[in-house]
Structure 1
Amino acid sequence: MIYTDWLYWLFVFVAVVTYYIIPHRFRPLVLVASGITFYSYYAGSYVFLLLLEAIAAFVLIHISIKKKKHWMYPAAVIGVVLVLGYFKYSNMFITTLNDLLGFLHQPFLPTAEQIVLPLGISYFTFELIHYIVERKRGSLPEHKPASFLSFLFFFPTMVAGPIKQFQVFYPQLTARFQLDHALIGVTRIGIGLFKKMVLAGTIDLLAEPVYSQAGIASSDTETLWIALIAYTFVIYFDFSGYSDIAIGTARLFGIVLPENFRFPYLARSIAEFWNRWHISLGYWLTRYVYFPLGGSRVPTYRIYVNLMCTMAVSGLWHGAAWNFVVWGLFHGLMLCVHRFYVKQIKTKLKPVPRWLKPGTTLLAIGITFFGVTLSRAFFILPVADGWKLVLRLFGLT
């Protein structure tokens, strides 16, 4: 793990000190240089791919605005999506196509084994799309190219987010050193490391039965439920730990990043869960997928389609395999059911007596947690194995 490497923390210290001792106008350059150095060390020559992609997108959107070349705006978006698609989804596409054409008794296309997914490219792509769209909309403050690159190559968020917004990030580049920022930053880093290395690492031992087909086959129903619940907490502590470390490191630079988790397992509905879980991703999906599809301003059946499509994109973003798509559709279905309940059923029910509300709140939390936990079967395993796990959980096999 990057964050257990002492050299990384020495790098952070040098970057932070350099950031504060130089004039404000050079700070973006420090962030660009540190980001490129960080990415080069951990991902090698792929840094040139990200640089080329960023520069090309910046030039295209600049020409689109200044020269009224409107076709360059969609070209920039499509370009960055195609880059992500090639590196992340080529093998998924080829494998699926070969499976569908299995009657030929030979691969229709060879699997591109040499394609390696560049570190953090999913986060990089989503932030770049955000920048392109908001720049086209005219909602970004005036800035120089170095500020744009510092936004994309801000190394604390390059590996696992949170997904930033340029208009929030950019004004903070002139902040002075404040002791409270540093203390908050160090504290958040400590909390994040504790979550990842102690809590996630320890609870992970309980989750081992659901990591393989053999473990599923050899475990009883009770053990599998314990393991899947444990995995649900492993995911939370591991991922929120990453976010804490990123948020804490950014604070050392005087930069406040968006919170990514707010006690998601206390959510009373699946809609509330997505307002508490990976919040920056939920915001991005809502603004750049759900709203462009029509959001909630369309006929009812279209709203459900929009929810399913948005969560399918969420699943694909998480991983290049069909089980992630199934996981996303599972959440989309839960969102549709929740919306139907709120719009068609809840409004017709009598108000809950005050003395019953604590009980109904606990029940709502329990139902939501149950649905989220069950969906993890398709997050951790291929579709067939995930389905076997679900059947075993309910004693059906």
Structure 2
Amino acid sequence: MMYTDWFYWLFVFVAVATYHVIPHRFRPLVLVTAGITFYYYYAGSYVVLLLLEAIIAFVLIQAAIKRTNRWIYPAAIIGVILVLGYFKYSNMLVMTLNDLLGFLHKPFLPKAEQIVLPLGISYFTFELIHYLVERKRGNLPEHKPVSFFSFLFFFPTMVAGPIKQFQGFYPQLTARFQLDHLLIGVTRIGIGLFKKLVLAGTIDLLAQPVYSQAGIAGADIETLWISLVAYTFVIYFDFSGYSDIAIGTARLFGIVVPENFRFPYLARSIAEFWNRWHISLGSWLTRYIYFPLGGSRVPAPRVYVNLMCTMAVSGLWHGAAWNFVVWGMFHGLMLCIHRFYLKQVKTKLKPVPNWLKPGTTLLAIGITFLGVTLSRVFFVLPVADGWNLMLRLFGLR
């Protein structure tokens, strides 16, 4: 992990010091240089791929704004998606086709050489799509190309987010240094390291049985429940720890990036959970997947389809395997049930005691946490193994 690497923190110190001592007009250039250096050190020549992708996308979107050719803007978006698709989903596609052909007793496709996924390309791609869409819509302030590249190659958020928005990032490049940023940044980094190294690392010992089919087979039901709940907290402390470190490091530059977690396990509904969990991803999916599909402005059946499609994309973004798609659709189903309850059931219920009203009590928090925890079986395991664990949890196998 880079955050335990002394060189990383030395690099942060040099980059931050340089950023604050030079004239403001050179700050974007410092961020671009630091980002490219950082990425080359940890990911090697893949930095050339990201640079070329960013340059081509920037040229295309500039052309799309100035010309009437309708194909330029879609070409930029499709090109960005195809790059992510090739590196992240090619292996999944080949494996799926091989499984289907094997099921049909047809000759297998030759196994493709495993394609290495470039570091942080999912975050890079989502931020690039955000920029292209908002630039085409005319929602971005006028800026120089170097500001665009400083946005994409801002190294504190390149690996694990949060997913930034250019409108919020760009104005902060000229902000003056404030001691509060330094104090808050160091504190957040410390909290993140504690979450990641101490809490996640310690609780992970309890989660071991759910990591493999052998562990599941050798554990009793009580142990499996404890292990799954432990894994649910491992995911939170690990991921939110990364986010805290990224947010804290950004603050050292005097730049505030979006919060990513707000006590998600205290959510009183699955909809509220997604307003508290990986907030920047949820916002991106809502803006660029859910709304373009029609959002909630379409007939009820379409709304449910939109929710399922959006969460399926969320699952695919998290990992290139079918268990992540199932995990996403599990959440989509919970969101559909929640919406159906709000629109069709809750309004027709007779008055009931407050302690029985979902969404207002500890009961609602417990139900939401249970649903989120059960969904984790498909996040940690392949579909078949996850289904087996689900049956074991309820004593059905």
Return 64-73 or 319-328, whichever deviates more. Answer: 64-73
Q: In 2, are the aligned partners of 1:203 and 1:230 still within 8 Å (CA)?
A: yes
- Matched with 1:362 is 362
Aligned 1:200-219 pairs, distance under 5 A: 200-219=200-219
- The structure 1 segments of at least 4 consecutive aligned residues displaced by more than 6 Å after TM superposition are 355-359
* Bigger mean CA deviation after superposition, 211-220 or 360-369: 360-369
* Structure 1 residue 355 displacement after superposition: 7.0
Residue type of the alignment partner of 1:369? F
SS at structure 2 position matched to 1:260? coil
In the alignment, which residue of structure 2 is the partner of 1:232? 232
- Distance in 2 (CA, whole Å) between partners of 1:79 and 1:109 is 26
Q: Aligned partners of 2:101, 2:319: CA distance in 1, in Å?
A: 23
The aligned residue for residue 155 of structure 1 is 155
> How many Å apart are 1:353 and its aligned residue?
4.4
Q: What corresponds to 2:262 in structure 1?
A: 262
In structure 2, the residue matched to 1:376 is: 376
Q: What letter is aligned with 1:144? A: K
Establish whether residue 107 from structure 1 lines up as the match of residue 108 from structure 2: yes
Shift of 1:358: 10
1:32-84 CA deviation, whole Å, 9 max, x = no partner? 00000000000000000000000000000000101222211110000010000
Matches within 5 A, 1:55-94: 55-94=55-94
Task: Establish whether residue 122 from structure 1 lines up as the match of residue 83 from structure 2.
Answer: no
Q: Is the 8 A contact 1:266 1:365 kept in 2?
A: yes
* C-alpha displacement of 1:105: 5.0
Could you tell me how far 1:350 is from its partner in structure 2? 3.6
- Aligned partners of 1:61 and 1:84: how far apart in 2? 18
- CA distance in 2 between partners of 1:165 and 1:178 (Å): 22
**Structure 2 counterpart of 1:312:** 312
Aligned partner of residue 376 in structure 2, secondary structure: helix
Unaligned runs of 5+ in 1: none
Residue 98 of structure 2 corresponds to residue 98 of structure 1: yes
Q: Say if 1:319 and 1:300 are closer, same or farther in 2 by CA, change over 3 A.
A: same
2:35/2:154 contact within 8 Å kept: yes
In 1, distance between residues paired with 2:39 and 2:350? 57
1:252 deviates by: 0.3
Identity %: 84
Correspondence for 1:346: 346
**Shift in CA distance, 356/177, structure 1 to aligned 2, threshold 3 Å:** same
Q: Cα 1:210–1:362, aligned 2, differ >3 Å: closer, same or farther? A: same
Q: Which residue of 2 aligns with 1:295?
A: 295
* 1:167-217 CA distance string (max 9 Å, x none): 000000011111111000000000000000000000000000000000000
Deviation of residue 108 (structure 1)?
Answer: 1.8
TM-score (norm 1): 0.98
Q: Is 2:291 aligned against 1:273? A: no
Shift of 1:110: 2.4
**Equivalence for 2:250:** 250
Number of matched pairs: 396
Tell me how far apart the structure 1 counterparts of residues 199 and 96 of structure 2 sit (CA, whole Å): 37
Amino acid at match of 1:111: A
Give the CA deviation at 1:354. 5.4
Q: SS where residue 20 of structure 1 aligns?
A: helix
Letter of the structure 2 residue corresponding to residue 292 of structure 1: P
Aligned to 2:241: 241
Task: Report the residue type matching 1:10 in the other structure.
Answer: L
TM-score when scaled to structure 2? 0.98
- The separation in 1 between residues aligned to 2:150 and 2:351, in whole angstroms, is 52
State the secondary structure of the residue aligned to 1:101.
helix
The CA distance in 1 between the partners of 2:380 and 2:290, in whole Å, is 26
CA shift at 1:89, angstroms? 0.3
Secondary structure in 2 matching 1:119: coil
**Where does the alignment leave 5 or more consecutive residues of structure 2 unmatched?**
none
- Aligned partner of 1:241: which letter? G
Map of 2:140 onto structure 1 = 140
Aligned partner letter, 2:107: Q
Aligned CA-pair RMSD: 1.3
